[in-house]
Amino acid sequence: MAITNILVPFDGSTYSVKAFNAAVEIAKRKDAKIKVLTCLEKENLGAWYVDKRVNKQIIKDAKEFAMGFLSKLEKIAKDSDVSLSVDILEAKSISKQIVDFANSKKINLIVIGSNGQTGFNRFLLGSVSNAVSQSAKCPVLIIR
Measuring CA to CA, which residue among 6, 2, 10 is closest to residue 113? 10
Q: Which of 62, 76, 86, 140 binds other proteins (CB under 8 A)?
A: 140
CB of 40 to other proteins, least distance (A): 26
**CA-CA-CA-CA torsion sign (14, 15, 20, 25):** positive
Measuring CA to CA, which residue among 3, 1, 11 is closest to residue 97? 11
List % helix, strand, coil for the chain (3-state, nearest 5): 45, 20, 35
Site size for other proteins, by CB under 8 A? 23
Burial code (b: 16+ CB inside 10 Å, e: under 16) for 89-117 equals: eebeebbebbbebbeeeebbbbbbbbbbe
CB of 137 to other proteins, least distance (A): 6
Q: Which residue, 89 or 141, is less far from other proteins as judged by CB?
A: 141
Tell me: does residue 143 bind other proteins (CB under 8 A): yes
Tell me: does residue 50 bind other proteins (CB under 8 A): no
CB of 55 to other proteins, least distance (A): 33
Tell me: does residue 13 bind other proteins (CB under 8 A): no
CB of 123 to other proteins, least distance (A): 7
Binding residues for other proteins, per CB under 8 A?
A: 1, 3, 21-22, 25, 29-30, 123-125, 130, 133-144
